[in-house]
Amino acid sequence: MSEEPLVKMRDVWLEGRSDETWNPIINGVDLTLQKGEVLGLIGESGAGKSTLGLAAMGYTRDGVRISKGTVEFDGIDLLTASAAVKRELLGKRIAYVAQSAAASFNPAHKLMDQHVEGPVQHGVMGRGESEEDGMELYRKLRLPNPEQIGFRYPHQVSGGQLQRCMTAMAMSCRPDLIIFDEPTTALDVTTQIEVLASIRDIVEQFNTAAIYITHDLAVVAQMADTIKVLLKGDEVETADTRTMLSAPTQEYTKSLWAVRSFERPLKPAVHTGSVPVVSVQNVDAAYGTVPVLHDVSFDMHEGRTVAVVGESGSGKSTTARCITGLLPPSAGQIMVDGEVMPPDYRKRSKDQLRQVQMIYQMADTALNPRMSIGQIIARPVEFYLGLKGAEKRKKVDALLEQIELEPSQYYHRLPSELSGGQKQRIGIARALAAEPKFIICDEVTSALDQLVAEGILRLLARLQDELSLTYMFITHDLATVRAIADEVVVMKDGRVVEQGPKVEMFKPPHHAYTDLLLSSVPEMDPDWLTNLLTERGVDNIGDAAVDKM
């Protein structure tokens, strides 16, 4: 048994149905997983990593089929196994942790009721025993108040806690295999650390095999023993984590690794006394009666990129809403080019509106799905610059060329016919069409794959050099900050905690919170998480916890 691998997938081909035909998703991938081994599956979105992960359970989503190959789990052929045999395996010996815990828990039942369902259903334990075991697991996963937390409803705990509850639920039957499908993608960096550490400990402790699906290389470096890289349904390479990180053999893998090395050259310091393009002065703001921003002040100078960083809920986007005028500040003012802006956008003149443009995080919701690319970009051209007919078309074509898309090919397409990165480029073109001085970029790269995100960052940097634009770059990703920012503003709980040029910000000494943020960004070093936890003085749970198995 020890020599037999736990999961053996041989020459697996998967197909998905769209437009009445079957299109390939995975083309003949092999996958072997030993007992207790953690395999990292990485690739861009659309590479088929989730589909492959699910296929390891012998399961496919609707409209997907396994057209060829074998999937064996502990010697059992999952593709030909009867429904009864599969029922016995799934949940009990194979478990799955989904990307969004918030969407996967039933909001109408308490966490513990959902936790005990698996063990009771499979006859592993009785209800009482299972509840006690659940508390034990919650303790091992370092959830606060482990005796009580199970009796809350999913909406009463935070996102990171919910993700750990789901891991506990997956562990409830002590499975031999857990499939983690991007379990930390939706979390803040500081929360991500806790979840990662908990998952790693518990997987090690129970000697569970795991398939860890993610697009974040630094995360997978912490978790996996082996890494498999997928590209458009084909396997690129598989290797031991350390080998893979230090000496990737394939071009594609190297390019993935290289993304993080993009960094702009430093710009000379701003002349003292020059008028900032946008100046936020002592701004307070509130949603209804709930205060969100407290005395926020910072300046943004021409041709510079100011990165505003902080966790979700720190007031980054609210500051942007104040600058655009969507949320009139309750105190303080916004100045553009030394001129005080009316607080409400409805009171601003067309020209004042034109100067401040925005690029959104979700390109999907930022572009009207019923308008063609040409219409979307032409509207601000017509609206602000008053161009019509051939002149308008010429301007739109020029803009499309500026964002590196072939005008004749894209002019008549709908947003749904574009990839995520291309949509984001259209968002940039729409902002540029107004010929603004200042652009707010609200998490523009966080929904994109790393390679695509890098392309967008390079494009933004080039446009800045050409048009001397000023960017306010809202992000929670410090790698992005390192790549593009000139100045950094750190926010927490609606206050500016620290601000200054990037060079100074990445050099100690920091404000305690900046330090926490900086140290929480996963690095490519596989020992990073272990070192960090030792440094922070968190004991590796293993010692304290009682192994009941």
Partner 1 sequence: MIWFVAVLLGIAVLAWLFRWKGQQIDWSEYNAKFRDMPFSVAYGYILGLSILLWLYWAYIQGRSLHPETANKFFFLRIAIEGFIIFAIAAWVFRLFGRSVGTAGTKKLFRSMPLTASFGILTILIYAFLAIFAAFIAPYGQEQIVPGVAANIIPGGDPALGGNPDFPLGTDQIGRDILSRLIYGAQNTVGIAFATTVLAFLLGGTLGFLAATLGGWLDQLLSRAVDVLMAIPSLIFALLLMTIASVWAPQLGIPLTFFMVVIIAVIDSTRVYRLARAVGQNIVVMDYIEAAKLRGEGLGYLVFKEILPNATAPLLAEFGLRFCFVFLTIAALSFLGVGIQPPLADWGTMVRDLGGFVNFAQFAPMAATAPLLAAGAIALLTVAVNFVVDWMLQKSSGLKE
How near is the Cβ of 18 to partner 1 at its closest, in Å?
8
Nearest to partner 1 of 48, 325 (CB atom): 325
How near is the Cβ of 415 to partner 1 at its closest, in Å?
9
Region of residue 331 (phi > 0: left; psi between -120 and 50: alpha; otherwise: beta): beta
Span of 355-363, 401-409, 487-495, 503-511 interacting with partner 1 by CB under 8 A = 355-363
CB-CB contact of 352 with 434 (8 Å): no
| Cα maximum dimension of the chain | 77
- How far CA 130 is from CA of 114, 156, 168, 376, in Å, comes to 11, 22, 11, 56
Nearest to partner 1 of 124, 371 (CB atom): 371
How near is the Cβ of 325 to partner 1 at its closest, in Å?
8
How near is the Cβ of 353 to partner 1 at its closest, in Å?
5
How near is the Cβ of 336 to partner 1 at its closest, in Å?
14
Among positions 107, 338, 369, 386, the unique one binding partner 1 when judged by CB under 8 A = 369
Nearest to partner 1 of 80, 148 (CB atom): 80
Helix (H, G, I), strand (E, B) or coil at 76: strand
**Cα–Cα dist 122/284, whole Å:** 55
**Cα–Cα dist 492/475, whole Å:** 13
Q: Name the residue among 189, 243, 198 with its Cα closest to residue 223.
A: 198
Among positions 289, 370, 408, 549, the unique one binding partner 1 when judged by CB under 8 A = 370
Peptide bond into 342 cis (omega under 30): no
CB-CB contact of 101 with 166 (8 Å): yes
List the x/- string, 293-322, binding to partner 1 by CB under 8 A: ------------------------------
Q: Is residue 23 a contact point for partner 1 (CB under 8 A)?
A: no
**Cα–Cα dist 129/277, whole Å:** 64
- How far CA 166 is from CA of 95, 114, 197, 487, in Å, comes to 10, 9, 15, 39
Nearest to partner 1 of 387, 516 (CB atom): 387
How near is the Cβ of 348 to partner 1 at its closest, in Å?
8
- If binding means CB under 8 A, how many residues of this protein chain bind partner 1? 30
Nearest to partner 1 of 163, 355 (CB atom): 355
Nearest to partner 1 of 223, 353 (CB atom): 353
How near is the Cβ of 505 to partner 1 at its closest, in Å?
29
Span of 67-75, 232-240, 251-259, 365-373 interacting with partner 1 by CB under 8 A = 365-373
Place of tokens 């200042």: 438
Site for partner 1 in 372-391 (CB under 8 A): 379-380, 383-384
Q: Is residue 366 a contact point for partner 1 (CB under 8 A)?
A: yes
- How far CA 5 is from CA of 32, 66, 93, 112, in Å, comes to 6, 21, 15, 33
Q: Is residue 418 a contact point for partner 1 (CB under 8 A)?
A: no
CB-CB contact of 105 with 111 (8 Å): yes
Nearest to partner 1 of 434, 463 (CB atom): 434
CB-CB contact of 168 with 134 (8 Å): yes
How near is the Cβ of 83 to partner 1 at its closest, in Å?
4
Helix (H, G, I), strand (E, B) or coil at 318: helix
Pairing of strands 226-231, 234-240: antiparallel
Among positions 310, 325, 343, 494, the unique one binding partner 1 when judged by CB under 8 A = 325
Nearest to partner 1 of 81, 270 (CB atom): 81
Q: Is residue 358 a contact point for partner 1 (CB under 8 A)?
A: yes
Q: Is residue 371 a contact point for partner 1 (CB under 8 A)?
A: yes
What DSSP designation does 42 have? E
Q: Is residue 102 a contact point for partner 1 (CB under 8 A)?
A: no
List the x/- string, 49-88, binding to partner 1 by CB under 8 A: -------------------------------x-xxx----
Among positions 255, 297, 312, 368, the unique one binding partner 1 when judged by CB under 8 A = 368
**Cα–Cα dist 425/433, whole Å:** 12
**Cα–Cα dist 307/482, whole Å:** 9
Q: Name the residue among 527, 422, 21, 24 with its Cα closest to residue 230.
A: 24
Site for partner 1 in 334-353 (CB under 8 A): 345, 348, 350, 353
Among positions 324, 419, 446, 519, the unique one binding partner 1 when judged by CB under 8 A = 324
Return the amino acid letter for 25.
I
152 token code pair? 């809350």
Q: Name the residue among 387, 381, 476, 488 with its Cα closest to residue 434.
A: 381
**Cα–Cα dist 116/375, whole Å:** 54
How near is the Cβ of 369 to partner 1 at its closest, in Å?
7
How near is the Cβ of 480 to partner 1 at its closest, in Å?
20
Nearest to partner 1 of 224, 359 (CB atom): 359
What are the phi and psi torsion angles at 294 (to 5°)? -130, 110
List the x/- string, 425-464, binding to partner 1 by CB under 8 A: -----x---x------------------------------
CB-CB contact of 43 with 215 (8 Å): yes
Contacting positions for partner 1 (CB under 8 A):
80, 82-84, 324-326, 345, 348, 350, 353, 356-358, 360, 362, 365-371, 379-380, 383-384, 416, 430, 434
